Structure 1
Amino acid sequence: MTANNAPSPQAAGRGAGPRRNGKIAASIGAVIVAVLWAFPVYWMLNSAFLPGVVLEKTTPTFLPFGGSLDNFRAVIADGSFLRALGMSLIVAGATVVFCLLFAFLAALAISRFRFRGRRGFVLSVLFIQMLPAEGMFIAQYKLMGTLGLSSLVGVSIIYIAAVTPFTIWMLRGFVAGVPVELEEAAMVDGLSRTQAFLRITFPLLAPGLIASGVYAFLQAWNEFTVALVILQNSAEHTLPLWLRGFIQQSASRAIDWGQVMAASTLVAIPVIIFFVLVQGRMTSGLVSGAVKG
């Protein structure tokens, strides 16, 4: 009966053909989308190495043959880039550290413990995420001005407050995904609750912490509007504000697009380096440590 109901080799071949063609079409479509997505980044890099006279031609130059690092040298020689880089690193670093600390403790609390007000706390986290950031600019500006925090400290506080709710929600999923039985088994073997958490649970949460840290870093690194409203002192401008000022200075003497693209590339490089350093942890399995023992 089984042999009679089995499909013939010809029928199996006819069914495999459309599936194979569908996969090929999907792969081609994915490659096209990837090329369209990556082309602006490639065009920025390509233009960063070309002089302005080449970029002003009506015929586009798709390869930087004959290019140089002159645009990068001109941007760095300005001196304000390195200062803005330091400001962005301070703000982004503080945001990542404090946001992960607060969000991690909150995620542990709502995932591992039952306490009065737990539901209200979770709902408040979701409600904060629904508030439009633009609606709070004036209140934030007045608050920071009243407290005398119209500086990097004030911007860092606002970034931490803005990123922490979503980070709590992200980490809550990671913490809930680690079975509490792992800690209980370790406690049966003689470990205290703290030791069981640090040796068993915490290593399994590393991918979640890295992913949340990347999100917090990108939010703080690329944020422009809050910094524009709060930071009145040009000496404390972060890289997005510096790039805006650089373009405005360039526009006053006819925009040098080669230098603008070089400046944009320099702003993006730290993000790329950070992602390369942590991407291994992001792609690792959440419970790989439990499998390895």
Structure 2
Amino acid sequence: MRKILLNGSALVLAGLFLFPVYWMFATSFKSNSQVLSKDPVFWFTPTFEHYETATGVNLFWTYVANSFVVTIGAVLLALGVALMASYAIARMRFRGRRGMVIAVMMAQMAPWEILIIVVYLNARDLQMLNSIGTLTLVYFVMALPFTIWTLRGFIAAVPKELEESAMIDGCSRPQAFFRVIFPLLAPGLMATSLFGFIMAWNEYAMVLVLNKAPDAATLPLWLTQFQTAFGNDWGATMAASSLFTIPVLVLFVLLQRRVTGGLAAGAVKG
């Protein structure tokens, strides 16, 4: 009976979470009359007119390219810096180490929205507005605290003896790290990469303030363009939302096993 209750509760929760996603995809294939119908329509003939409207927006492929460049660039930068920082925190003893750990935790908990004005003023004074590079740096800084904190747990969980044995056999410290420790960090790298990807891919407030030029915008701003004088174009909005969601869904399906283990392990080790 206990298993039945637990499994039943899990199915109910899964249905509650998945139904909005299903409804978004289903609505993107309905005609306008079915979308605006008072009664919910579950059986319909699919149409692709909303996807044609969504992808027909001016500079659509520019938005796609900008989003991928900014997201992948921020994730790679965060991983590169976090590997060095987390190794230093987990393995080395130095003055200010405790303060650095506290600073990382505070940066992870702080809402970045409160810094929008400061970031905008600095970017304006440095003439860095409407730049894909500026947006990449901002997202890199936003993803860095979580990446450092998670990878620190994985590095601390690797026995020091493995690294010391490699160094005794003739490896330098960098060689011991990349040949011994780095291959064991795959779950943590997957988890932090997915988090950084979702954060940068979905972020709206910073790009709205920093990149107002049309050719420097990303896909979150593209989602706001489906409005008419009489209201929202819900069919095109749902089609755009579906296209916007697909990369994240595909990435999560590919990485889900390692991501689940990585988040759980990084939360308790170290």
TM-score exceeds 0.5: yes
Cα distance, 1:132–1:232 mapped onto 2, change above 3 Å:
same
* 1:282 counterpart = 2:259: yes
Tell me whether 102-111 or 112-121 shows the greater mean CA deviation: 112-121
How many residues are paired up?
262
State which of 112, 117, 139 in structure 2 corresponds to 1:138: 117
Equivalent runs, 1:1-293 vs 2, <5 Å:
21-63=1-43, 65-150=44-129, 151-244=131-224, 246-247=225-226, 250-282=227-259
Give the Cα separation in 2 of the matches to 1:193 and 1:137: 40
Structure 1: 5+ residue stretches without partners? 1-20, 287-293
Contact 2:71–2:201 at 8 Å: present in 1 too? yes
Give the Cα separation in 1 of the matches to 2:109 and 2:177: 33
The amino acid across from 1:272 in the alignment is L
Give the Cα separation in 2 of the matches to 1:105 and 1:162: 17
Give a deviation string over 1:22-48, Cα, whole Å, max 9, x none: 110111111001001100000000001
User: Secondary structure, in 3 states, of the residue corresponding to 1:57?
Assistant: coil
Calculate percent identity across the aligned residue pairs: 42
Give the Cα separation in 1 of the matches to 2:115 and 2:200: 17
Cα distance, 1:242–1:42 mapped onto 2, change above 3 Å:
same
Contact 2:191–2:262 at 8 Å: present in 1 too? no
User: Secondary structure, in 3 states, of the residue corresponding to 2:187?
Assistant: helix
Give the Cα separation in 1 of the matches to 2:262 and 2:206: 36
Structure 2: 5+ residue stretches without partners? 264-270
Give the Cα separation in 1 of the matches to 2:94 and 2:194: 30
Cα deviation for residue 148 of structure 1 reads 0.8
The amino acid across from 1:112 in the alignment is R
Decide which structure has the larger Cα Rg and report it: 1
Give the Cα separation in 2 of the matches to 1:75 and 1:179: 52
User: Secondary structure, in 3 states, of the residue corresponding to 1:214?
Assistant: helix
User: Secondary structure, in 3 states, of the residue corresponding to 1:205?
Assistant: helix
The amino acid across from 1:266 in the alignment is L
User: Secondary structure, in 3 states, of the residue corresponding to 1:232?
Assistant: coil
Give the Cα separation in 2 of the matches to 1:78 and 1:202: 43
Cα deviation for residue 169 of structure 1 reads 0.8
Cα deviation for residue 285 of structure 1 reads 7.7
Cα deviation for residue 130 of structure 1 reads 3.8
Give the Cα separation in 2 of the matches to 1:122 and 1:152: 30
Cα distance, 1:36–1:159 mapped onto 2, change above 3 Å:
same
Cα deviation for residue 282 of structure 1 reads 3.0
Cα deviation for residue 275 of structure 1 reads 2.3
Cα deviation for residue 257 of structure 1 reads 1.6
Give a deviation string over 1:228-274, Cα, whole Å, max 9, x none: 11112122111111111x23xx2325433211110100111111222
- The alignment's C-alpha RMSD in Å is 1.9
Cα distance, 1:139–1:190 mapped onto 2, change above 3 Å:
closer
Give the Cα separation in 1 of the matches to 2:101 and 2:36: 54
The amino acid across from 1:224 in the alignment is Y
Give the Cα separation in 1 of the matches to 2:112 and 2:248: 23
Give the Cα separation in 1 of the matches to 2:12 and 2:254: 28
Give the Cα separation in 1 of the matches to 2:256 and 2:78: 20
Provide TM-score, normalisation by structure 2: 0.90
User: Secondary structure, in 3 states, of the residue corresponding to 1:60?
Assistant: coil
Give the Cα separation in 1 of the matches to 2:262 and 2:213: 45
Structure-2 residue corresponding to 1:6: none
